[in-house]
């Protein structure tokens, strides 16, 4: 019924009946339910048809009722987004928090943000799903793999919860609504407090064995480099994360404790900041060249707060990419800034929850599990039986 | 008809007629054509059914008649393989040649090898296609992209010719019949006179934009290193190809001009050879770790003649891979030796020509173009209109 109204716009009961083939009674019952949720509203046309009596009531979707919710639990912030039954974005919101905030508080913050966005109550009755991005590899794009957090989210939101890596979800969003829309082969890199990415290969979001893919931040670039929180050494993240760049800036005598200070120094032509960003950009470009030669993207999208410093970083990225990419790729490979900002991960969660993107066609089929208290971690087979996501324990 | 006989085994005319639903006349005509080609043979059962008269003639596939041919034009050899109408491998053959042999001679060599394998004449009438591997990126897996060579092959073999990168075809074969059979996510690396690879992502062979993927040999590992024939500098191929390893071996004072000499030195415990292979293996392992973190394979297959030196090379590859792969992958990622030897590329050509592997489900649909003199390079759209393969001109 919702699909018909989405495809055809407002219809009267007769038109709906013809198109859906339901009996008069079933149609009446279904419509009553939908009208009660507020997802479907009844409207009288402004003008009555000529030469007729009472104008026919039109039934339409209520664009303010959310049908899918995306949540991105980033390292230092929660972002949420929602789409309505019309599949248009209702809105998005986000709030920073201290690193290491307990999971219960992060979930509560997400809930506050979502309720602010889509209002209370009835939207839950038409909720298709909640797509949730978390840091680290996720084995299955389904509830149950992160049993504690998944169950808690299911209880709070009352809909099926699908979990995935948040940077891969950002790649999904950039390929759905952002800088790589329509590109069959794309590589996404996010430069934030963590460094990660996502791969779209042959028109589909690539998940990788055990949900490991897009871990670009953990590609070693300096075997003798600094220890990384993944347990490795000299990973790209130890060079190109916001924290790493700010630390290196201060170590070289730069003054500034945060990204706006660094951006101001760059703006003022500070040679320490510019030289540093050149080195960092070169390392990033080398990694992207290596991956491009192996994977063959048409477009590389760079997002995350660090990318906002622009040309002083992205120029050297482009130079190193050109130097390292096979000749045939050099003039065909485009480097683009991300288009969706810090809400990309949450928007990717929405796309995951809707589950209708061709980009997800090789993802494990989502089997929606209705709502509350669904903490049956074992029911999704092998992947679910062995939770694989390294996360702060639920507090 | 061939499909029915492949699926059900020998059938008599009545059974065939029931299963295919063709009229008696059409069935008779079709069968006569197939019997004339030799693809279908007629056989009388050994025993007559009890209580009946003349035993019913059974029609069966002739396992010696080839239906798909694969050719791998490697740098210094031509390899061919064929499958019969039963989809069983008829056989394979190969012959080394001097580097730089003109294309006309390479095609003639391929033709000799194929004719030796599948005999002369009638097999061409049931030929489904010829899958051809060449060095370098190939934009479309179809005839016409390499118009000269494609047309020449079409003339000689009289079937539709599908072209692709030969190392990607080797990856396809290893995923179909070899070391990665059944793995949904696999990375293949070939260490030969060239260094290249292939990516199987989510159960499909990945092609990449403009047919560029798997160019692992052109990933720079040493920005100040030796010039590579791709135009770059310090590519993995300048370190890990057979030529590069032999050159480095002599430069360090080692004695030996070819791979058997190096293998003998390794066998004898020559510290120069062992130290060199350790360095080369470490470089290879670092590249594989970087790619694994981004792509997430379950299995990495290493083939090519150089891999045959075994543990002195592959041990250090494994160590560097373990050191650089994200922790979650380390115990789940398997390094395997390739299983199909130097005929892998040709076998991949067979799989491409058959076109029925799920691994090819996201490849551009092959539109078989019947045989001879089909040199219409422009008809396959944009990719075909601009041939993209850098190859020695047809002489």
Check if A2-61 and A183-339 are the same fold.
no
Among A184, A230, A289, the residue with its CB nearest the CB of B220 is: A289
A-chain CB neighbours of B223 within 8 Å are 286, 323
Distance of CA B134 to the CA centre of its chain: 10
The per-type count for chain B, helices as H runs and strands as E runs, is 14, 13
B-chain CB neighbours of A328 within 8 Å are 137, 210, 212, 388, 390
Closest by CA to B371, choosing from B159, B184, B115, is B159
pLDDT band at A49, cuts 50/70/90?
low
Helix axes A103-118, A147-157, angle to 10 degrees: 30
Residues 98-117 of chain B with CB under 8 A from chain A are none
Pseudo-torsion of CA A132, A136, A142, A148, nearest 10°? -80
> If you average pLDDT over every residue of chain A, what do you get?
83
Structurally, at CATH architecture level, domain B66-168+361-385 sits in 2-Layer Sandwich (3.30)
What is the C-alpha separation between A151 and A160, in angstroms, rounded? 10
Structurally, at CATH architecture level, domain A183-339 sits in 2-Layer Sandwich (3.30)
Confidence at residue A178, expressed as pLDDT on a 0 to 100 scale: 94
Task: Give the position of tokens 């310090």.
Answer: B234
Closest by CA to A84, choosing from A339, A353, A371, A344, is A353
What is the C-alpha separation between B219 and A109, in angstroms, rounded? 44
> If you average pLDDT over every residue of chain B, what do you get?
83
Instruction: Kindly report, residue by residue over B168-180, the tens digit of the pLDDT.
Output: 999 999 999 999 9
| pLDDT over threshold 90, residue A369 | no
Please answer yes or no on whether A206 and B362 come within 8 Å at the CB atom: no
| DSSP H helical ranges for B73-164 | 103-118, 147-157
Task: Give the position of tokens 């160019």.
Answer: B215
> What CATH class is the domain A66-168+345-385?
alpha beta
The enclosing H or E element of A193 equals: none
A290–chain B nearest CA distance, Å: 5
The enclosing H or E element of A381 equals: helix A381-385
Instruction: Kindly report, residue by residue over A102-125, the tens digit of the pLDDT.
Output: 999 999 999 999 988 877 555 666
A4–chain B nearest CA distance, Å: 30
Q: What is the DSSP letter of A365?
A: P
Mean pLDDT throughout A172-194?
95
- Answer whether A59's CB lies under 8 Å from A41's CB: yes
Task: Flag whether residue A215 sits within 8 Å of chain B, measured between CB atoms.
Answer: yes
Domain boundaries, chain A: 2-61, 66-168+345-385, 183-339
What is the C-alpha separation between A352 and A366, in angstroms, rounded? 9
Task: Flag whether residue A322 sits within 8 Å of chain B, measured between CB atoms.
Answer: no
Q: 3.30.365.10, 2.50.20.10, 3.30.420.40, 3.90.1150.10: which CATH number matches B181-339?
A: 3.30.420.40
Confidence at residue A115, expressed as pLDDT on a 0 to 100 scale: 86
Confidence at residue A242, expressed as pLDDT on a 0 to 100 scale: 97
Task: Flag whether residue A386 sits within 8 Å of chain B, measured between CB atoms.
Answer: no
CB atoms within 10 A of CB A394: 14
Mean pLDDT throughout A130-154?
72
A-chain CB neighbours of B324 within 8 Å are 219-220, 232
Report the residue of chain B nearest A234, measured CA to CA: B324
Among A185, A215, A390, the residue with its CB nearest the CB of B209 is: A185
The per-type count for chain A, helices as H runs and strands as E runs, is 14, 13
Task: Flag whether residue A298 sits within 8 Å of chain B, measured between CB atoms.
Answer: yes
CB atoms within 10 A of CB B310: 13
Confidence at residue B41, expressed as pLDDT on a 0 to 100 scale: 84
Please answer yes or no on whether B327 and A230 come within 8 Å at the CB atom: yes
Among B211, B329, B388, the residue with its CB nearest the CB of A212 is: B329
Instruction: Kindly report, residue by residue over B133-161, the tens digit of the pLDDT.
Output: 998 877 644 444 466 788 888 888 877 88
Closest by CA to A219, choosing from A257, A250, A248, A187, is A187
Task: Flag whether residue B203 sits within 8 Å of chain A, measured between CB atoms.
Answer: yes
Q: 3.90.480.20, 1.10.10.10, 1.10.3470.10, 3.60.10.10: which CATH number matches A2-61?
A: 1.10.10.10
């Amino acid at each position: 019924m919702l699909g018909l109204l989405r495809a055809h716009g407002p219809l009267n009961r007769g038109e709906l009946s013809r198109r859906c083939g339901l009996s008069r009674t079933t149609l009446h019952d279904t419509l009553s339910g939908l009208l009660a949720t507020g997802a479907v509203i009844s409207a009288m046309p402004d003008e009555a048809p000529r030469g007729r009596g009472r104008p026919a009531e039109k039934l339409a979707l209520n664009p303010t009722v959310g049908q899918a919710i995306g949540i991105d639990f980033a390292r230092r912030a929660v972002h949420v987004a929602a789409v309505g039954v019309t599949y248009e974005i209702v809105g998005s919101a986000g709030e920073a928090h201290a690193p290491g905030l307990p999971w219960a508080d992060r979930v509560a913050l997400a809930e506050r943000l979502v309720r602010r966005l889509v209002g209370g109550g009835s939207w839950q009755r038409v909720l298709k799903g909640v797509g949730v991005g978390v840091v680290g590899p996720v084995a299955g794009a389904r509830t149950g793999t992160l049993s504690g957090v998944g169950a808690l989210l299911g209880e709070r939101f009352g809909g099926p919860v699908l979990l995935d890596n948040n940077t891969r979800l950002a790649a999904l969003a950039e390929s759905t609504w952002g800088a790589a829309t329509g590109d069959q082969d794309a590589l996404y890199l996010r430069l934030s407090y963590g460094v990660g990415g996502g791969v779209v290969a042959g028109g589909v979001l690539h998940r990788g064995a055990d949900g490991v893919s897009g871990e670009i931040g953990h590609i070693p670039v300096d075997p003798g480099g600094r220890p990384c929180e993944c347990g490795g050494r000299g990973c790209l993240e130890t060079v190109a994360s916001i924290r790493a760049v700010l630390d290196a800036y201060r170590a070289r005598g730069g003054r500034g404790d945060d990204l706006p200070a660094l951006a101001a120094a760059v703006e003022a032509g500070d040679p320490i900041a510019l030289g540093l960003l050149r080195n960092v950009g070169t390392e990033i470009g080398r990694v992207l060249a290596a991956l491009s030669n192996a994977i063959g993207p048409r477009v590389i999208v760079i997002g995350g707060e660090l990318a906002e410093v622009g040309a002083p970083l992205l120029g050297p990225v482009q130079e190193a990419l050109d130097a390292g990419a096979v000749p045939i790729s050099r003039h065909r490979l485009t480097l683009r800034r991300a288009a969706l900002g810090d809400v990309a991960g949450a928007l990717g969660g929405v796309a995951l929850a809707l589950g209708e993107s061709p980009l997800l066609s090789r993802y494990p089929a989502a089997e929606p599990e209705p709502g509350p208290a669904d903490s049956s971690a074992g029911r999704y087979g092998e992947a679910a039986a062995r939770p694989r996501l390294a996360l702060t324990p639920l507090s």
